[in-house]
């Protein structure tokens, strides 16, 4: 009886899952199509290239120092030998620390990349929620997230729908930001010597009856 109850429970759960409408999106593809993300990624890659160049210079300096020390150490004695050896050892340690701090698992590169993608991930998530609600999706899979999709009917792929909605939302945000900046600039001009319409009205209201002849 207990086995039967478990079987019925599993069957019911499987039926419920099967009854859910499933959709698939490709978040990596969506990110690659966002101009704002591509610009930010380009700046990040430029920073990474600079760090790599700096590291290569450090390594080249280290190799020269190490080679010179190896060639000359037979001529060195006492404190001079210790000082030159310490210099080489310190340079090697500095390079290892730089590699770990910038290119390690928890290094600056991974942290910056995570910070780069997070705002876009939040926006993509909100767009996916909207598309899911609109299309009554119970389950949404991300095929770029280590999920193997052997076959996918195009009608179940909502990547373009999410991308289209996301593009509209980003365009609205940019328009709103541009409007705020424009309004701020206009207010600044009014405060820098130009009289606003309200100021002109108040100025006219302050004129005395004797000033009416001057206005004619």
Alpha carbons within 13 A on the beta-carbon side of 107:
13
Residue 144, SS3? Answer: coil
Whether 157 shows a pLDDT value over 80: the answer reads: yes
pLDDT value for 148: 67
78: left (phi over 0), alpha (psi -120 to 50) or beta: left
Q: Per-residue b/e over 67-81, b at no fewer than 16 CB within 10 Å?
A: eebeeeeeeeeeeee
Tell me, what's the pLDDT at 176?
A: 74
Question: 208 pLDDT band (50/70/90 cuts)?
Answer: very low
Domain ranges for the chain, please list them.
19-189
Question: In the structure, what pLDDT confidence band is assigned to residue 206 with cuts at 50, 70 and 90?
Answer: very low
* Confidence band of 114 (pLDDT split at 50, 70, 90): confident
The pLDDT score that the predictor gives to residue 13 is 46
Spell out the residues 6+ positions from residue 41 whose beta carbon is closer than 8 angstroms to its own: 116
pLDDT at 121 (0 to 100)? 85
pLDDT at residue 76 in the model: 86
pLDDT of residue 196 exceeding 60, the answer is no
Average pLDDT along the chain: 78
**What pLDDT shows up at residue 127?**
92
**Are the C-beta atoms of residues 190 and 197 closer than 8 Å to each other?**
no
pLDDT in tens, 57-111: 999 999 999 999 999 988 888 899 999 999 999 999 999 999 999 999 999 999 9
Given a cut of 50, whether residue 3 has pLDDT beyond it is no
In this predicted structure, what is the pLDDT of residue 92? Answer: 96
CATH of domain 19-189: 3.30.910.20
At 200 the pLDDT is 43
Taking 50 as the threshold, does the pLDDT of residue 209 lie above it? no
């Amino acid at each position: 009886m207990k086995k039967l109850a478990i079987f019925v429970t599993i069957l019911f759960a499987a039926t419920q899952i099967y009854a859910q409408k499933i959709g698939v999106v490709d978040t990596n593809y969506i990110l690659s199509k966002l101009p704002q993300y591509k610009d930010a990624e380009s700046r990040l890659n430029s920073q990474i290239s600079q760090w790599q160049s700096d590291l290569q210079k450090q390594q080249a300096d280290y190799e020269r120092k190490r080679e010179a020390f190896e060639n000359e150490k037979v001529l060195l004695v006492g404190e001079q030998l210790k000082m030159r050896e310490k210099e080489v050892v310190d340079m090697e340690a500095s390079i290892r620390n730089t590699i770990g701090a910038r290119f390690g698992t928890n290094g600056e590169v991974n942290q910056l990349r995570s910070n780069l993608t997070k705002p876009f991930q939040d926006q993509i998530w909100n767009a996916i929620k909207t598309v899911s609600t609109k299309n009554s999706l119970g389950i949404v899979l991300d095929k770029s997230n280590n999920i193997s999709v052997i076959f996918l009917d195009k009608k179940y792929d909502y990547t373009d729908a999410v991308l289209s909605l996301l593009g509209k939302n980003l365009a609205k945000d940019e328009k709103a930001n541009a409007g705020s900046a424009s309004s701020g600039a206009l207010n600044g001009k009014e405060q820098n010597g130009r009289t606003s319409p309200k100021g002109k009205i108040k100025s006219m209201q302050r004129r005395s009856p004797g000033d009416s002849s001057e206005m004619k």
